Structure 1
Amino acid sequence: MHHFSRSWAALLAAVAHAPDEDFARPSGCKGWLVRDLVCHLVIDAQDVLITLVTPADTEPTADATTYWNLVEPPTGEDPLDALIPRLAAAYGDPGLLKFHLDDVGSAAGRAAELADPTARVGTQGKVLTVGDYLSAYVLEWTLHHLDLIAHLPSAAEPPTETLAAARAALEKIAGTAFPAELSDTDALLIGTGRRTPTDAEKSRLGELTDRLPFVLG
């Protein structure tokens, strides 16, 4: 839960400090501008709030690793993916989008800190402990932090500790470790298809190259 709070606070701060003109720049999410990514984060924060007040009275069916499914790369046909750019554009002023994320995002952060990590919640047809649910989101926040700053070289990077935690989570989901020579950032970007590995990196990855990317859903 510490990593959840740390990664989420860092991501919210990075958005808050981004100049308004950066919202029209591309993000690391293919086809999305920074403003689209921030709009997606608003929806993610709402999901966290909803899940934390959706108690379950059955045994857990998933944990922080099995919460995620490996899926095929997106085709762009998902209705929600198409909705987000239109919704983001409707905000007009980036300041309004920043305000909404800070408002909802801060509430999600507080709710996470107050939650009992042993309590059980239901989401997406699964039952998890609160601790596992929030731990699963460390990977989400860290990847989206990297997406946010993909074309913003002056923006703050994710915390070192949460990069390491996100890499460890991705390796558990994939059932394999990335070469130690890869930094945590490179392992996350290459592992999820956000960056194509160089020839030297492909050599280090070996047969793992053929399994890439690991797309989470």
Structure 2
Amino acid sequence: MADGTARTITLIVVDDHPVVRDGLRGMFESAPGFEVLGEAADGVEGVDLAARLDPDVVLMDLRMPDGGGVAAIAELTRRGARSKVLVLTTYDTDSDTLQAIEAGATGYLLKDAPRDELFTAVRAAADGRTVLSPAVASRLVSRVRMPVGAADQSLSARERQVLELVAKGTSNREIAAELFISEATVKTHLTHIFGKLGAKDRAAAVAVAYDRGILG
């Protein structure tokens, strides 16, 4: 473990391409503050590995021949796993990405993201913060379409402020400090935001907000 300044974040890599797994393992093992506990080649193996090793973060590919990522994320959610799941996607739109968010993924990032961005995203996920980069969101949110009349789309100025900070990966505590309000008030705002946008969590709310032009 790290020496009091920052804890070591543990993770596993789930991807059917050995080169990708090797690359990610090497990248994280060469950086301070991370420990790769293991790797898996498909979703089924990934769920078993996560259950056995209990990592802070699971880096999850979506398209794998033997057990896809969406089903694996849903199973981890069903089991109440502590691990946060970060979806790894290619630059092209992956039709499963929204399903992965809905299944319980904390967020998603590009496989070719810069090292620092990847490290920052994993740290944010380990802290329970949403990881939703605009670069990927622009390709994802075109699929987010709410039925007409399903939700009140108007957010208050304060709700927009809260949502903008959520999109930056800001925690509830940090949002409270930034806006000089209590954490309880932040949670109340989030509840209202989720209701108005028809979203069940932070990641989905940000995706819908990008899609509707509330965030841009």
| Global fold match (TM > 0.5) | no
**TM-score class, shorter:** under 0.3
**Structure richer in strand, relative to its length:** 2
TM-score (norm 2): 0.26
Structure scoring higher RCO (CA < 8 A, sep ≥ 6) equals 1
